[in-house]
Amino acid sequence: MAMVAFVNHYAPRLNLPIDVPIKDRDIHKLGCTPPEYSTNGTVFLGGFQIGKYSFGFQDGFINRSSGIFKPYFVITELEDDGLASFGIPLLYPRESSVSVMQRASQMKYAVNTNDLYRMATNYLVALEINQKPFEKTRPLTLLSTVYHSPRGLVPSPIMAACWGESALRDPGSNGFAFLISSVTGELLEMNVGNASTCKGLPLIKGEDLNKLLAISDDEFLKYSDLERSNCLVRFTGLHCSDLHCPGGIEAPSSQAANAVFNVRTNGNFAPK
């Protein structure tokens, strides 16, 4: 419920082509793991697919007063074959990275470095991150590399920007990075590795998590939609206007692995 509320709020701000509020029938591959406990803290993971986008989350809290937990979330655009998109239609399912990149590198590019900088600052605003203090410790880097095409070195059909560490798909990173298609300008992947700076996170307030976990599954499944909404408002601090509480969706633990999606691998895809 908290993940859906997060996407309801931020998808329009990020200009993602997703109809909100999200309905139960629109959600695919929903997965939520049971909280993992240790002496240091509590961690929980989840994710789901809506349309051609997958959303993954890690949240939790640290038991030490001096510790700061780093929640993160990742957005990935997918193709019909379930693998990560490169921003252009596939010729056939599971078309190789090399083939897609070669075709994209021969197309007319719609985005330049100035456009990339504008998009980067707009994404900060969309995620309600205060730009000036954020960039003091995480300088912005625009990553426009070259691609080894059959025609020789050409500008890459994938462009990236990052604050802090450039590593994508790394929940331990202390930065914010995203990839876009140079051909279409559409968002291909976004990874906020220290998402505590995003107004919408943490998904669940750490000091209240144990109270939430004290509610048994049997008790929670008897809640009405209104009671579930009230529960979510209580433990997340979200306003009722942000919510659409899915009813009747139960993701058994065997589906938890679906929260992590396959990616189309390619050496030129993500900056090193």
Residue 99 in contact with residue 91, Cβ under 8 Å? yes
Domain spans in the chain, listed from the N-terminal domain onward: 2-259
Per-residue confidence band for 249, with pLDDT thresholds at 50, 70 and 90:
very low
Instruction: Render the burial of 65-102: b for 16+ CB within 10 Å, e for the rest.
Output: eeeebbbbbbbbbbbeeebbbbbbebeeeebebeebbb
**β-pairing, 152-155 with 187-192?**
unpaired
Look at 271 and 35; give whichever has higher pLDDT: 35
**Could you tell me how many helices (H) and strands (E) the chain has, helices first?**
7, 11
Q: What is the pLDDT of residue 219?
A: 92
Q: What is the mean pLDDT of the chain?
A: 77
Is the Cβ–Cβ distance between 56 and 73 less than 8 Å?
A: yes
Q: State CA 39 to chain mean position distance.
A: 28
pLDDT at residue 103 is higher than 90: yes
Residue 2 phi/psi, 5-degree rounding, is -70, -40
User: What's the pLDDT score for residue 119?
Assistant: 93
Closest listed residue to residue 76, CA positions, set 187, 165, 2, 182:
187
Tell me: pLDDT of 157 over 80.
yes
Mean pLDDT value of segment 175-188: 90
Look at 138 and 69; give whichever has higher pLDDT. Answer: 138
pLDDT-above-90 percentage for the chain: 30
Q: Label residue 210 by pLDDT band (50, 70, 90).
A: confident
Q: Measured between alpha carbons, how far is 8 from 10 in angstroms, rounded to an integer?
A: 6
Classify residue 64 as exposed, middle or buried by CB count within 10 Å of its CB (0-12, 13-18, 19+): exposed
What pLDDT was estimated at residue 77? 94
Residue predicted with more confidence, 85 or 29? 85
Contact predicate 87/76, CB 8 Å: no
pLDDT band at 179 (very low <50, low <70, confident <90, very high): very high
